[in-house]
Amino acid sequence: MEYRVREEVKKLGKYVSGKPIDEVKREYGISRVVKLASNENPLGTSDKVKKLMVDLVNEMNMYPDAASFDFKEALSNKLDINRNMIFCGAGSDSLINVICGVFLDKNDESIMAEITFPRYESNTKLMGAKAVKIPLKNNALDLEAMVEAINDKTKIIWFCNPNNPTGGIFTKSQLDRVLNRIPSSVIIVMDEAYGEYVTSEEYPNSLELLKYYPNMIILKTLSKAYGLASLRFGYGIANEKIVDYMNRVINAFDVNLFAQKAATVAIQDDEFLSKVKSFNEEQREFLYGEFEKIGLDFIKSQANFIMVNVNGDDKPIHEYLLKHGYIIRPGYLLDMPGWIRVSLGTNEQNLEFTNLLKEAIEERDRC
Ligand SMILES: Cc1ncc(COP(=O)(O)O)c(C=O)c1O
């Protein structure tokens, strides 16, 4: 039977996510598996959020608030912005899809780094538009070249900051140099999924920039620093007119009750967030030190993961780590063969991981 599937869908590749823990347990017959592959939070979730979840089981029969009112109220108070500038979805992944659905027609173009979060490309192609991919420069976004690539067909430019999977940021002054060259008809997406982890003072203040660039959309997620990956909650901040169009396309009940309530409390728990941030900074430094001891190059990260050069084929390294119960992201799946991306775990996990990494490299080089 030939299904009459859209050509765009036939051409789409499947998104390969970090391997689930249970799958590795089954495949390798081991009982203890640590996942450092999807940039999740090793400190878990705020206790305030956990407590709240229990009572909600009695409300599961009801649809959630389609407007996520409480969350928007809490965020607008926190950031001192108008509630109508906020839109919410089931993860920022869902919102990337909606942005493409709102803006991209067949044969339009959207510009992204060659190595970045892959969902910009797949969602662009889903709309029948062209993904224009600009090579990285020194393992970072080449903003100049990205802006140079703008033409009459360009509708969106994707700035992932910190960039996944490389982990570095572009600075405020680098951004300032290109922003005025982006026509107001092009939507600038600032994907700041890892923004909470940034410690550099050079990080652009996108909320401030939004006042001058009504064509800018800031994307955030509760999946990383707030430790709510499983609940699926992402949000965006943009000009009210953009938000109005977004809300026409976002599924009516995209954000479930648990996610809404959790996100509302999570963004107000500054104590948990600052604990996460300082722990992350400490573990980044710890891992840098360990990589240096082993003699491995790495890209300095402003996120909760690090890209490490494993000096040769990354496939056997990935396999060795899996066999020993550690899931990481091998570079061959990220278009960076010879590298691996590791999410920061607890201190014990990071130590055990680096010991295994050293063994894995020795074993590979022996063969
Ligand atoms: C850069 C970037 N943007 C967006 C997302 C999507 O996150 P979520 O859908 O969990 O909000 C991710 C997830 O890994 C990411 O790395």
Which of 17, 87, 93 has most ligand 1 atoms within 8 Å of its beta carbon, as the pocket-test mutant? 93
Half-sphere exposure (Cβ direction) of 79: Cα atoms closer than 13 Å: 20
Are 93 and 13 in a shared domain?
Answer: no
CA 92 to centroid of ligand 1, rounded, Å: 6
- Rounded to the nearest angstrom, the distance between the alpha carbon of 38 and the centre of ligand 1 is 9
Query: What's the pLDDT tens digit per position in 268-321?
Result: 999 999 999 999 999 999 999 999 999 999 999 999 999 999 999 999 999 999
Q: How many domains does the chain have?
A: 2
Last residue of a domain, one of 269, 304, 330: 269
> Is residue 328 predicted with pLDDT exceeding 90?
yes
> Are residues 124 and 190 both part of a single domain?
yes
Same domain, 212 and 319: no
Strand 216-221 to strand 187-191: parallel, antiparallel, or no bridges (unpaired)? parallel
Same domain for 101 and 84? yes
Q: What is the pLDDT of residue 250?
A: 98
Residue 322 CA, ligand 1 centroid: distance in Å: 23
Identify whether residues 120 and 246 lie together within a single domain.
Answer: yes
The verdict on whether omega for the bond into residue 183 sits within 30 degrees of 0, i.e. cis, is no
Q: Of the residues 88, 92, 302, which should be mutated to test ligand 1's pocket, given the most ligand atoms within 8 Å of the CB?
A: 92
Task: Give the model confidence (pLDDT) of 14-44 as tens digits.
Answer: 877 778 999 999 999 999 999 999 999 999 9
Do 275 and 264 belong together in one domain? no
DSSP secondary-structure letter at 184? T
Tens digits of residue pLDDT in 87-126: 999 999 999 999 999 999 999 999 999 999 999 999 999 9
Q: In sequence order, what DSSP letters do the residues of 76-132 get, joined into one string?
A: HHHHT--GGGEEEESHHHHHHHHHHHHHPPTT-EEEEESSS-THHHHHHHHTT-EEE
